[in-house]
Amino acid sequence: MNRIAKIFTLGLITVTGLSSCEKFLDVNTNPNAPSQETISLSAKFPAALVATVNQEQGQINQIGAFWGGYWGTTNEAVNSFIDLKSYNGLAIMHQRDGIPVWETAYNNLFYLELIKREALAENALSYAGAAKIMQGWLFLRLVDMYNNIPFDEALRGFEIATPKYEPGKTVYEKSINLITSGIADIKNHKDGPGISKMGNDDILFKGVANMWYKFGNTIKLRALIRQSEAGNQAYIDAEINKIVSEGSGFLSVSENAYIQPGYLNSSGKLNPFWENYYKTVQAKATTNYTAIRPTIYAINKYKGLNDPRLSNLYVTVAGEYKGVLFGNPNSNDPIYGQAVTSAFKGPAENDNKAAALFKSFSQPSVLMGSFESLFLQAEAAERGWISGSAQTLYENAIKESFKYMEVGATDFIAYNLQPTVNYNIPTTTVGKIERIIEQKWLALNSISSIEAWNDYRRLNLPNIPNSLDAPSSTARPLRLMYPETERMTNNDEASKQGNDDMITGKIWWMK
């Protein structure tokens, strides 16, 4: 853990370089000598938001897209993403060549901690509150990936080199409390009702305080939904009552947590999802674009429901949508080659019009879409946790997904009339929740894919295919192993946490 503290200064340089003039993509101050004194909160906070969403749309979304049933690779890319396709926990945790989920998240948490401390010292409660909400997001995400993690002692820098771990359930409760405290801080700012002091420095909600309240409540609802199978109903009910008493509600129709720093048509400053998975600044297809393909399972899911989103997601090959098998180790099968399988569709393949996922180099980055929030609310309403019509929330969630994926609003009517889609066809709560999760899975595709993997671990829904390169036919990834960097610096604490195996270890909220 102390290694995170040591690399924090470098991380500060990196994320600071994402903020400030030219809308947070260039830097005003000397990037070689950033300090708490020379960088203002108005520059630090948007940089922290960008760093957080970059992790979500990059490494986190990529893990979820493979393990959540959306992505596979072509024959030519049989050796790409091999660690994710084979569930190689040791390789993923590797210091040099692994996926630094732990390191990146804690680095972002340290940065937000500095912002929070400075903001509290200056009585800038809007910044402090928003920083707490984002810290809650990150701590919850770390539990979802690793289970037990350091919390109270985690952000003490050089003061505590080997912070103690706390149970994942405890960290969940403390993270929810942190978000509640953050909402209270924003409410207590002294700059008048409705608009926080942050203003346009807030590249998430433009300083609209009520949106931060709704966002915080929605993060908490996601954390409570995650516990649906954990036998923790009394706690869930108490926290739902707190949200209801707060009164702001959740993100609703047309209310999205999109981060827009002002992306530029310049290398390293395009929307990172676009630049990593679609086109370079020279308008050349990226390596990921040529390697990644939808799974046959994903294509068949959309086709089976006559889903109009399919035509905006992928290109056809000889008039057909062609997917691949996840983790297929056979590079010789001609039907899974790059030229004969469906790639992502973007403007270049869509008559220069925005497509489902790829719209323009300057599209905002998605932290949480309205559709995810509405599906969470639909499930909570169906379970009897919140008031409101589960059917209306479900239907609005699909409509919002259609809107995001550039499907015409009128297409919803015929789509929803289908017995395989209509909410009233299942007669039991179990059947209705299955319907919610299926449509949520279709909406999260390559946007917030990690939530699909989380739902699968929670409910075993939908019936996503296992990797053909898995250690066995029943082996599924249930968590990440603690990284090598943590084992090198805090191994005594990490070793106390029990089963650290990717396949057999579990997150506390799983069945």
Distance CA 216, CA 186 (A): 11
Choice between 113 and 333, residue whose per-residue pLDDT is larger: 113
What's the whole-number mean pLDDT along residues 165-170? 98
- What's the length of the chain? 511
CB 494 within 8 A of CB 165: yes
What's the pLDDT tens digit per position in 252-278?
A: 999 999 999 999 999 999 999 999 999
Question: Given 1.10.40.30, 3.40.50.720, 3.10.620.30, 1.25.40.390, which CATH number is that of 2-258+480-495?
Answer: 1.25.40.390
- pLDDT on residue 33: 40
Choice between 151 and 193, residue whose per-residue pLDDT is larger: 151
Give yes or no for residue 423 having a pLDDT over 90. Answer: yes
Helix (H) or strand (E) holding 179: helix 168-187
- pLDDT on residue 190: 72
Distance CA 467, CA 84 (A): 9
Q: What is the sign of the dihedral through the CA atoms of 117, 120, 122 and 126?
A: positive
Q: Where in the chain is the domain with CATH 1.25.40.390?
A: 2-258+480-495
What's the pLDDT tens digit per position in 455-476?
A: 999 999 999 999 999 999 999 9
Of 1-5, 124-128, 217-221, 328-332, where does mean pLDDT reach its minimum?
A: 1-5
Q: What is the sign of the dihedral through the CA atoms of 351, 356, 361 and 363?
A: positive
> Chain-wide mean pLDDT for the chain?
93
What's the pLDDT tens digit per position in 343-400?
A: 999 999 999 999 999 999 999 999 999 999 999 999 999 999 999 999 999 999 999 9
Structure confidence at residue 244 as a pLDDT band (50, 70, 90): very high
Give yes or no for residue 122 having a pLDDT over 70. Answer: yes
- pLDDT on residue 39: 83
- pLDDT on residue 189: 87
Give yes or no for residue 35 having a pLDDT over 90. Answer: no
What's the whole-number mean pLDDT along residues 243-249? 98
- pLDDT on residue 333: 87
Give yes or no for residue 443 having a pLDDT over 60. Answer: yes
Distance CA 295, CA 299 (A): 7
Distance CA 165, CA 156 (A): 13
- pLDDT on residue 20: 38
- pLDDT on residue 157: 80
Structure confidence at residue 29 as a pLDDT band (50, 70, 90): very low
What's the whole-number mean pLDDT along residues 233-258? 98
- pLDDT on residue 2: 58
Q: At what angle do helices 125-146 and 209-225 cross, to 10 degrees?
A: 20
Choice between 22 and 216, residue whose per-residue pLDDT is larger: 216
What is the helix, strand, coil percentage profile of the chain, to 5?
A: 50, 5, 45
Model confidence, pTM: 0.94
Task: Evaluate the omega torsion of the peptide bond into residue 150 and state whether it is cis, within 30 degrees of 0.
Answer: no
Give yes or no for residue 196 having a pLDDT over 90. Answer: no
- pLDDT on residue 137: 99
Give yes or no for residue 8 having a pLDDT over 70. Answer: no
Distance CA 377, CA 397 (A): 9
From residue 304, give the alpha-carbon distance in Å to each of 30, 297, 323, 416, 421. 55, 10, 14, 14, 11
Pairing between strand 365-368 and 257-259? antiparallel
- pLDDT on residue 193: 59
What's the whole-number mean pLDDT along residues 32-49? 76
CA 97, distance to chain mean position in Å, is: 22
CB 260 within 8 A of CB 18: no
